[in-house]
Homo-oligomer: A and B are copies of this chain.
Amino acid sequence: MSDVPYKNIDVIGDKSSDVVWHQASVLTEQRVSANGHKPVVLWYTGLSGSGKSTVANAVDKMLFDLGCKTYVLDGDNVRHGLNGDLSFTDVDRIENIRRIGEVAKLFVDAGLIVSTAFISPFLADRQMVRDLLPNGIFVEVFIDTPIDVCESRDPKGLYKKARSGEIKNFTGIDSAYDMPLSPEIHVKTDLASIEGCASQVVDYLVEKGIVAR
């Protein structure tokens, strides 16, 4: 990483011109002002098949339609790209969540509302990400769907494979899922439509003054 000496020397000119050039940077506050909403991380957590990605994308669409600048990080765009080098060891599982948290932080710095849709089964990992971010930025959205409902959906038969032992360390079957203790938003997908679930998330953002409707 030959970029190490980069930070402090990549400034042209003397000290007075440094000041001028630091002023040229766009501040997060300016991005927020231009976007018309505050940035947050909507951190969706829940079992496989619980509906994290579905709800996250429905919320994202609602926010986009309200004029918000948004993005969704999920298995589709992260697993084969940024985190394509990671395996299934405990160490790599933690690193997976750490990197997603750090990328979410960059998106927040850029002024966006970024959603992450990963099982993220462990309290400690979710707390690590919460601690990365300023207060109020990490919004934990618990997609609380009973495992029997997740299992009955099971469109790819993964629960079936986990039950038969063909897949090991499957969350909810032979690997733990730590339920959020006090999530900012608690969504029960078996009791509401997807639109209803998504509205619950958007309502929270409006109530908190993050987004205007």
Tell me the A residues contacting B by CB distance below 8 Å.
1-15, 18, 21, 24-26, 30-31, 34-35, 48-54, 57-58, 60-61, 64, 67, 69-79, 81-83, 85-88, 92-93, 95-96, 99, 102-103, 105-107, 109-110, 112, 117-121, 132, 153-156, 158-159, 162, 167, 169-171, 175, 189, 194
Contacts and interface: CB of A to CB of B under 8 A. Distances in A.
B103 A60 contact: no
A124 to B, nearest CB: 14
A64 B26 contact: yes
Contacts of A34: 64, 67
A103 B77 contact: no
B21 A109 contact: no
A72 B10 CA distance: 14
Contacts of A154: 9
A118 B2 CA distance: 9
Contacts of A79: 1, 3-4, 6-7
A82 B204 CA distance: 29
A179 to B, nearest CB: 15
Given A3-B79, A118-B3, A153 B13 contact: yes
Nearest to A62: B24
Given A9-B48, A10-B49, A86 B21 contact: no
A64 B82 CA distance: 27
A106 B71 contact: yes
B109 A5 contact: no
Contact of A175 (B2, B54, B74, B170): B2
